[in-house]
Amino acid sequence: AQSVSQHNHHVILSEAASLELGCNYSYGGTVNLFWYVQYPGQHLQLLLKYFSGDPLVKGIKGFEAEFIKSKFSFNLRKPSVQWSDTAEYFCAVRQAGTALIFGKGTTLSVSS
């Protein structure tokens, strides 16, 4: 079955530490890839997306992600996290004409 896997369930970091959240998917063919963030008590916000072209995608708030087709991966990175990055992060995958399917999410806790 098609699926999206996020390996890290809960990540705890200190401010200024670097972040990398893993995401793998099992779809064949062309996919669109997304990372969303959900701050406590708020709704989903799109961080970044990949459709085609440069596999290194830059998003908002200093986040970036790299699409590695051979590894079916789309990992999210940030060089230096802030306390305000504390949130739930979701990787999501979509094939043309179908709905977004989400990973289980990663809770990021950043201590100041």
Question: Which residues would be at the binding site for another protein (CB under 8 A)?
Answer: 32, 34, 43-44, 46, 49, 51, 88, 90, 94, 96, 98-105, 107
Q: How far is the CB of 80 from another protein (least distance, A)?
A: 26
Of 103, 104, 90, nearest to 4 (Cα)?
A: 103
Task: Name the residue nearer to another protein (CB basis): 3 or 18.
Answer: 3
Buried b (16+ CB within 10 A) or exposed e, 61-99: eebbbbbeeeebbbbbebeebeeebbbbbbbbbbbeeee
Of 108, 74, 102, 69, which Cα lies nearest the Cα of 88? 108
- Dist. CA 107–CA 92, nearest whole Å: 15
Q: Measured from the CB atom, is 4 or 110 closer to another protein?
A: 4
Question: Least distance to another protein from the beta carbon of 1, Å?
Answer: 10
In the complex, minimum distance from the CB of residue 16 to another protein, in angstroms, rounded to a whole number: 26
The residue (of 16 and 100) whose beta carbon lies closer to another protein is: 100
Nearer to another protein, 77 or 94 (CB): 94
Residue 70 in tokens: 């051979």
| Minimal distance, residue 11 CB to another protein, in Å | 14
